[in-house]
Amino acid sequence: MKKGLNGFQLKIIACIAMVIDHVGAVFYPHMEIFRIIGRLAFPIFAFFIAEGFFHTRSVKKYLARLGACAVVFQIPDWFSRIYSAVFNVPGFGVNYKFNIFATLFFGLLAILLYDRFKAKSVWLSWALAAAVAVTAEITGADYGAYGVLYITVFYLTRENVNKMISGVLTLHVVFTVYDFAIRLSHARAVFFYNPLQLYSLLAVPLIALYNRERGYKLKYFFYVFYPLHLIIIYVIYWLVQLK
């Protein structure tokens, strides 16, 4: 076994971080440490979408699988919204229209289009990837354009840690400036805010430890884990509210 972390171990770390993030969002919304730890999850999953693009036997089937999961796994979020409306209570921290699998779908689609058209025209390939990112933003997918471009960065910087770090830093600088400009234009005054997503940079050192080994082959476990852990959290929250 090579030194470092294999794919299975990294995904387990991402799952643990995701659970901590969602537990914090539901039960401890004012304790930021839960959300900070949770920032480790998305970059790891984004990284493996880019890796999957290079290793899957059929990108089209991979894309279809992510799309199907995006639709089916939206049910827990719909449950959250319905529960909130019926019982007139706050939701479960869900503040997006489509779940993370929609973002992963858009991210894979973006790098697929970029890869297919880059030989013909770099400008066209970038335009298509950007169009997909904008679509993710407009439709309300979790993380929006930022999430799609995160996946694109991992695709472009594969197997080069220095370029990966530079790419991720550049992405965050661009979105920090964008966020700052939006806030300034709306409030017409500069004010400080908490750039929570910047903590996702802490995932890069973990990704850099990836040893290119797959580890245990539990592919579908990681698909099912997402809705399953949300349902469990929702049920626990519901039971607590009944007391």
Domain ranges for the chain, please list them: 7-242
What is the average per-residue pLDDT within 54-66? 95
pLDDT higher than 80, residue 184: no
Give residue 118's pLDDT band: very low, low, confident or very high (50, 70, 90): very high
Is-contact 200 147, C-beta < 8 A?
A: no
Contacts of 3 (CB under 8 A, 6+ apart): 211
Condensed to tens digits (0 to 9), the pLDDT of residues 42-56 reads 999 999 999 999 999
The pLDDT of 184-205, averaged and rounded, is: 73
What is the pTM for the complete model shown? 0.89
3-state SS record for the chain: CCCCECHHHHHHHHHHHHHHHHHHHHHCCCCHHHHHHHCCHHHHHHHHHHHHHHHCCCHHHHHHHHHHHHHHCCHHHHHHHHHHHHHCCCCCCCCCCECHHHHHHHHHHHHHHHHHHCCCCHHHHHHHHHHHHHHHHHHCECCHHHHHHHHHHHHHCCCCHHHHHHHHHHHHHHHHHHHHHHHHHHHCCCCCCCCHHHHHHHHHHHHHCECCCCCCCCHHHHHHHHHHHHHHHHHHHHHHHHC
Average pLDDT across the chain, whole number: 88
Q: What pLDDT was estimated at residue 195? A: 74
CB atoms within 10 A of CB 132: 24
